Amino acid sequence: MKKSGAALARYALEQLGVTHTFGIPGVHNTELYDELNASEQIHPVLVAHEGGGAFMADAVSRMGETIGTMVIVPAAGVTHAASGIGEAGLDGIPMLVISGGIHTQSGHRYQLHDMDQHTLLSPITKATFRIESHAQVIPTIYEAYRIATSQEPGPVFVELPYNIGNFLGEVEGMPAFETKGASPQVDKTLLKQAAQLLSNASKPGIFVGWGAIPAADALIELAEYLGAPVCTTLQGLSAFPGNHPLHTGMGFGDYAVPAAAQAFADCDCLLAIGTRFAEIPTGSYSMPVPEQLIHLDINPEVFSANFPAKIAVPGDSQQSVPLLLEALKATMAPRDHTQLSQLIADAKASYKKEWLDYDSGERVNPGLFFDVLRRQLEDDAILVADDGNHTFLMAELMPVHGPRQFISPSDFNAMGYCIPAVIGAKLAKPDRQVVGVVGDGALKMTGLELSTASQLELGCVVFVFNDGELSQIAQAQEIPYNRKTCTVLKPLNIKALAETTDCRFMDLSNNEDCERVVAAALKAAHEGETVLVDVNIDYSKRTRFTRGVVKSTLKRFETRDKIRVISRALIRKITG
């Protein structure tokens, strides 16, 4: 039978359960967009920019129901989307990226959007494919999906050339998608050794990342049985409930909140699950990881990359954590964690009071804001952050109550993530509250995607932490150098942006208005409006993370460079 490549691609995506695609139609993919428009299952979302579309696809995947999918034009569409693809690639998030391609049957050397997309994307994807015939369309998309979702997930790129996508070609049939094989088995012998190491430890601790989310329930039982505190990475903030008595916060050490620093003091055995030990969650590698390190991860390449592992167990946490719990129960009796839980609760209460007592003057106190927001949100609300100072305020002050309830850019640090990701998360979970917090700097990057949100009538809230500065980098400059360079932002008329993008605008200028404005924003979102709230935030109190990371980074300098930085800061402090 004869089918266009576009029709075959649509069929394959429907078989994979794709519900939304993100991108902008163009010359090379008009037929595919026509097919998607006719689909009863797939909704093609027109985005303002392919970079925003990539973040939307990323967020859809992070919600865990289906794979985030892009349908974009070649060349410029691909380069625009590259930041979002890179974020997904470094964070282990599956994504399908389907691009048009130039006419492969033409003899012309220079064609519209002609470039080597595969060389560009190979460092930030798991695989790239160029379809050479109509018969390859369905099998290639199926294989791309398998690669994107297997082992450590990640993005996969598929190029569908113009003459295959838009023209008819002969195919023998349209096969259904079939899963292939079971996941590799976890080494039970290694897990028994790990259980023995944990049972011998006097102060074990648990450190979890995004990769631990599939094992969330077993992880809670494991922590309670072991009587161990649990801290998380930034990306893995939702891997362990923030309202559990053994939860301490992000990371541990001098850069972490007091609950984590105290609970993990003298930790003599660390169980790490689903984390790379990357720079952000380890506080610029200042985390005091003990010699007895047990590391469970789906990607063996991360073992001992930054901290040497005593026992390394490759495999999916969904398999390994329940098996480790089983081995632990055969090795030791459960430990009481009453005193530990009280220590954590007291430290959290003290740190919260420290923030609430802080004088923010005429601006909004972040501690109060997040306290009000958490109380007014539903328990299963989804929180979305961008990259900036607000990210670490959220990590320290905003408890996340369940799996996949917090998403943000992580090690790739792509600013502009929040607003598109709010859209993706809400499309994937339309019945849940979705709330974003974005800095005014990141707002400038993808703020026009608010028009996409309002057009879709999603009903979500974005709080803009507005202080007129790129605050996180400004503080990182000011602490060692006593100077800020190129961080001041021209004030944005956020109300005008809301009007331009057909959003409901609200102003939150002081502490007294917090309860009222947050409640009004959530109510308007529940009624289907996209709400943009201008928060007059106070960033004068620095997070533990910022203070700790600057100090630990300085310690990594050579003595000569350290003296130079400190001397410059002192001179500038004296001379102004």
Q: What is the pLDDT of residue 576?
A: 55
Q: What is the pLDDT of residue 527?
A: 96
Beta strand 406-407 with 382-385 is parallel
Q: What is the pLDDT of residue 549?
A: 77
Listed in sequence order, the residues at least 6 apart from 424 whose beta carbon sits closer than 8 Å to its beta carbon are 22, 55, 56, 57, 58, 59, 60, 63, 68
DSSP state of 404: T
- The number of helix segments (H) and strand segments (E) in the chain equals 22, 20
The structure tokens listed for 502 are 């057909």
- Read off the pLDDT band of 517 (50, 70, 90): very high
Beta strand 155-161 with 127-130 is parallel
Q: What is the pLDDT of residue 551?
A: 73
Torsion, Cα 327 330 334 340, to 10 degrees, reads -30
Mean pLDDT of the chain: 92
> Which architecture does CATH list for 2-170?
3-Layer(aba) Sandwich (3.40)
Q: What is the pLDDT of residue 572?
A: 54
How long a stretch of residues is the chain? Answer: 576
Rounded mean pLDDT of 55-77? 97
Residue among 476, 470, 508 at smallest CA distance from 365: 508
- Read off the pLDDT band of 472 (50, 70, 90): low
For residue 564, is pLDDT > 80?
A: no
For residue 553, is pLDDT > 90?
A: no
Handedness of CA 450, 455, 458, 461 (dihedral sign): positive
Q: What is the pLDDT of residue 8?
A: 97
**Type and span of the H or E element at 223:** helix 216-226
For residue 438, is pLDDT > 80?
A: yes
Interval 223-254: pLDDT, tens? 999 999 999 999 999 999 999 999 999 999 99
All CATH 3.40.50.1220 domain ranges in the chain, comma separated: 188-342
366-376 helix and 514-526 helix, angle to the nearest 10 degrees: 40
Q: What value does the CA radius of gyration of the chain take, rounded to a whole number of Å?
A: 25
Report which of residues 552 and 160 the model is more confident about: 160
8 A C-beta contact, residue 484 and residue 474: yes
Kindly report the backbone phi and psi dihedral angles of residue 394, in degrees, each rounded to the nearest multiple of 5, phi listed first.
-65, -40
Question: Rounded distance, CA 218 to CA 221, Å?
Answer: 5
Reduced to 3 states (helix: H, G, I; strand: E, B; else coil), residue 94 is coil
DSSP state of 152: S
Question: Rounded distance, CA 403 to CA 64, Å?
Answer: 10
- Determine the CATH number of domain 188-342: 3.40.50.1220
Question: Rounded distance, CA 451 to CA 478, Å?
Answer: 36
Residue among 397, 531, 374, 376 at smallest CA distance from 464: 531
Interval 111-125: pLDDT, tens? 666 778 999 999 999
Q: What is the pLDDT of residue 439?
A: 94
All CATH 3.40.50.970 domain ranges in the chain, comma separated: 2-170, 358-545
- Determine the CATH number of domain 358-545: 3.40.50.970
Interval 135-175: pLDDT, tens? 999 999 999 999 999 999 999 999 999 899 989 998 988 99
Report which of residues 266 and 558 the model is more confident about: 266
Q: What is the pLDDT of residue 184?
A: 81
8 A C-beta contact, residue 113 and residue 54: no
For residue 574, is pLDDT > 60?
A: no
Reduced to 3 states (helix: H, G, I; strand: E, B; else coil), residue 395 is helix
8 A C-beta contact, residue 27 and residue 103: no
Question: What residue type is 319 in one-letter code?
Answer: Q
Residue among 224, 186, 197, 405 at smallest CA distance from 317: 186
Q: What is the pLDDT of residue 490?
A: 75
Question: Rounded distance, CA 51 to CA 41, Å?
Answer: 24
Kindly report the backbone phi and psi dihedral angles of residue 437, in degrees, each rounded to the nearest multiple of 5, phi listed first.
-125, 125
Percent of the chain residues topping a pLDDT of 70: 90
